[in-house]
Amino acid sequence: MWIMSEPTELYDEEDAFESAGLRLSVDLSALADNWRDMARRSGRARASAVVKADAYGMGIEDAGEALYLAGARDFFVATADEGATLRLFAPDARIFVLAGIWPGLERRFFDNDLVPVVSSEEQLAFWMGTLSNYGDYPCALHVDTGFNRLGLDTADALLLASDVSRPASFSPVLVMSHLACGDDPSSAMNRQQLESFQEVSAAFEGIESSLAASAGIFLGPEYHFDLTRPGIAVYGAEAVKGMPNLMRPVATAEARVVQVRTVRAGGTVSYGGTLCLDRDSRLAIVSAGYADGYLRSLSGAGVPLRQAVTEGACGFIAGHKVPVAGRITMDLTIFDVTDVPEGLVRAGDYVELFGNNILVDDAARAAGTIGYEMLTSVGLRHERRYVETEE
């Protein structure tokens, strides 16, 4: 009869990271430096920090605390649950909830001192009713200036601003909008939205205004108003098309090599046999797949995207870039390491999926997507380690 023995010792966090099949290193110094850089670029405006989607996949607890210690005192989250978590690490910050408030969430907001962003006539009506029961409480007002996503129509916002019958308890502390084409400085839509928002901002005289997220900050002082909302740039990814990325990389994702195998010329690789090798090859199979956010569209062959973008993604190991071979699967990806000197890649080693050597935006382009999706798709199976390094 087989009897399970008692565990002799629990792994500490460092042991867990060193033995993990998937791991994510988050450089909190780079994160803080990037935020300070965006704060400087915001000029006279105050810079907030956007930490929605679990701080773009980096972990809202550690990233939020690092940004708070760097000086951020205004934060934007997507949901009330994110705001409640962040409150533990940013005790006296203003935390805006972009999804706004809905019936049943009142205590969540009030108990954690969260500021709802009111974005529709329905939310506005509910919020007015809530104030009649609970008394004065701050909110933010989101106005749509052409994006056609969330926000009150500009005309309705202007009517609200001039409505002398609105309750005195309705006291927005911020009026905000969002640019649709901020990442394209040549787009005429930026100027159109700016002029529309300037009209709204003037109508809500004495209330702070916010228009620019990361890309908008680079458009210049006219777009900064009172509060900027840097997000993607803080996490080290590109914010503006065609502009060199001056931010420090924050995240490094790695996957362990499970096996190295040799395959003769003419052998096929992965599902569908879509890659036929034209030389004797060495292949490294690593423990990352699309279930971990390493998107199937990154595959080296056998996916529709390869008809438009010839090359798939690359990893980095032993000082060499190595291409993805064949289709990425749910839990495993195959890299061609034939051009890495033999003996330098062994089972147990780690391939960088993105980081300092494979920039997250380059990986995203190979997948036909953007850095935002690559970062926020990082799966729960990544063991995280938070480090502080100097540039």
Task: Supply the residues annotated as catalytic.
Answer: 52, 271
Q: Which residue has the tokens 């300070």?
A: 36
Cα separations in angstroms, 177 against 35, 145, 153, 200 = 21, 7, 11, 10
DSSP β-ladder status, 208-210 and 170-176: parallel
Q: Say how far apart CA 39 and CA 337 lie, in whole Å.
A: 42
CB contact at 8 A, 336 and 330: no
CB 10 within 8 Å of CB 368: no
Q: What are phi and psi of 284, to 5 degrees?
A: -105, 120
Instruction: Please identify which residue in the block is written with the tokens 């080693």.
Output: 349
Residues paired with residue 229 on neighbouring β-strands, in sequence order: 213
3-state SS assignment for residue 41: helix
SS3 15: helix
Kindly report the CA angle at 158 between 152 and 160, in degrees rounded to 5? Answer: 75
Residue 259's H or E segment, with its range, is strand 251-263
Distance between CA 299 and CA 313 in Å, rounded? 7
Q: How far is CA 14 from the centre of its chain?
A: 25
Q: Find the radius of gyration of the CA atoms of the chain.
A: 24
Amino acid in position 210: S
- Token duo for residue 110: 């009030």
Spatial distance between the Cα atoms of 153 and 130, rounded to a whole number of angstroms: 22
